[in-house]
Structure 1
Amino acid sequence: MTITRDSLMTLEAYSKYRKENKPQIIAHRKLRSVHLGEHITLQFESETSIRYQIQEMLRIEKIFEEEGIEQEIEAYAPLVPDGGNWKATMMIEYPDVNERKRELARLIGVEDRLFVEVEGHDRVYAIADEDLDRENDEKTSAVHFVRFEFTPAMRAAIQAGASVRLGCDHTHYPAHMDIPADTLASLAGDLAPA
């Protein structure tokens, strides 16, 4: 389902919905959050998580005018997977500010070294930051938006229960792990039948 202005709730309706459904939305986001090593987290987005994000922004900013609503949709709707891919917000987290500054300088290009490996298939590297460049010569950003595109054969394998590894082969952040079964089941639901 596409997120449109007409498909969003009014601020009043959302306020009521939020009170009743916040635990389920938090659980959905937690299920789709994968920690890769100690310092990288990928929040795999869905139509549900992005719809929630837009509604939250409208609520926080008290946006109820058509133009403002359209701007929020334009900002976030591209993060909804389209059936052939997974999309995620990648966060690089270091609690200590000095360590964070040092590590973000060492991790330039890390977003391009993220991969998903479907059992029996080649690695699929992330396509990062299509909206704007989030790094410079001195450091990478702490937040990136990434997309993993799958072939029909990969989609079919995922939907048939193949194991899937998430990894990073950046020189300064080598890490990989199997995506947990419950998370993988949720992510498989984002893919169109192959």
Structure 2
Amino acid sequence: MQLTGKITPETLMSLEAYTKWRKVHKPEVIAHRKLRSVQLGEHINVQFESETTIRYQIQEMLRIEKVFEEEGILQEIEAYAPLVPDGSNWKATMMIEYTDINERKRELAKLIGVEDRMFVEVEGHGRVYAIADEDLDRETDEKTSAVHFVRFELKPDMCAAVKAGAGVKMGCDHTHYPSHIDIAPDTLASLAGDLK
């Protein structure tokens, strides 16, 4: 999978080429995704996206749905490409995970607005709160969604600090889910690569 900085139909593999590539490289992509995942408390998993993860997601959708016509390919790109970070931000899929269905229903009702209370904090700088669900509203008056898409927009001095090795905390200050964690150095090194 060649990273080009922009996902277009021309930069994607054909279904045949991808099937061959996938057999060899799937473990690498899974390891990359795992490296870029931050577990916040027991029930929130934040997976920071990259061109690699999104390119893989698009190729997987095309493979599963057997899409090879340009219109369908463009629809998949349009759906997923906005999740690729663009130099001044981190973009992530935030999953609220409860295995018990009744507990999940109860907790999602308590966690309305949790996506807006997610933050990153670069050492020496203030908190940057998530801009959540720009594609569509993912909550109702009764509950929040188990999946949200969040973006953390960093100022140039924050980007420079991260690239220079500053630590970063991730947290949530929602009343029903107060939690924070230092992002692990290897994960942070991968995230620093997203910044210009």
Fold equivalence (TM over 0.5): yes
Residue 93 of structure 1: aligned partner: 97
Would you say 1:2 and 2:6 are equivalent positions?
A: yes
Residue 48 of structure 1: aligned partner: 52
Matches within 5 A, 1:69-80: 69-80=73-84
Would you say 1:104 and 2:108 are equivalent positions?
A: yes
Q: Which amino acid aligns with 1:85?
A: N
Distance in 2 (alpha carbons) for counterparts of 1:158 and 1:188: 6
Would you say 1:13 and 2:32 are equivalent positions?
A: no
- How many residues are treated as equivalent by the alignment? 192
Shift of 1:57: 0.2
Q: Which amino acid aligns with 1:86?
A: W
Q: Deviations over 1:54-90 (max 9, x none)?
A: 0000000000011000000000000000000000000
Shift of 1:138: 0.2
Residue 177 of structure 1: aligned partner: 181
Would you say 1:144 and 2:148 are equivalent positions?
A: yes
Aligned to 2:137, the other structure's residue is in SS state coil
Distance in 2 (alpha carbons) for counterparts of 1:97 and 1:64: 37
% identity of equivalent residues: 80
Q: Which runs of 5+ in 2 are unaligned?
A: none
Residue 88 of structure 2: aligned partner: 84
Shift of 1:129: 0.2
**Pick aligned residue for 2:130 from 126, 133, 146:** 126
**Pick aligned residue for 1:158 from 162, 171, 191:** 162
Q: Which amino acid aligns with 1:8?
A: L
Q: Which runs of 4+ in 1 moved over 2 A?
A: none
Distance in 2 (alpha carbons) for counterparts of 1:63 and 1:38: 37
Distance in 2 (alpha carbons) for counterparts of 1:147 and 1:96: 28
**Pick aligned residue for 1:22 from 5, 23, 26:** 26
Would you say 1:35 and 2:39 are equivalent positions?
A: yes
Shift of 1:42: 0.4
Distance in 2 (alpha carbons) for counterparts of 1:133 and 1:18: 33
Aligned to 2:98, the other structure's residue is in SS state coil
Distance in 1 (alpha carbons) for counterparts of 2:142 and 2:120: 27
Q: TM-score, normalised by structure 2?
A: 0.98
Q: Deviations over 1:119-156 (max 9, x none)?
A: 00000000000010000100000000000000000000
Distance in 2 (alpha carbons) for counterparts of 1:81 and 1:163: 19
Q: Which runs of 5+ in 1 are unaligned?
A: none
Aligned to 2:120, the other structure's residue is in SS state strand
Residue 61 of structure 1: aligned partner: 65
Q: Which amino acid aligns with 2:167?
A: S
Distance in 2 (alpha carbons) for counterparts of 1:89 and 1:153: 25
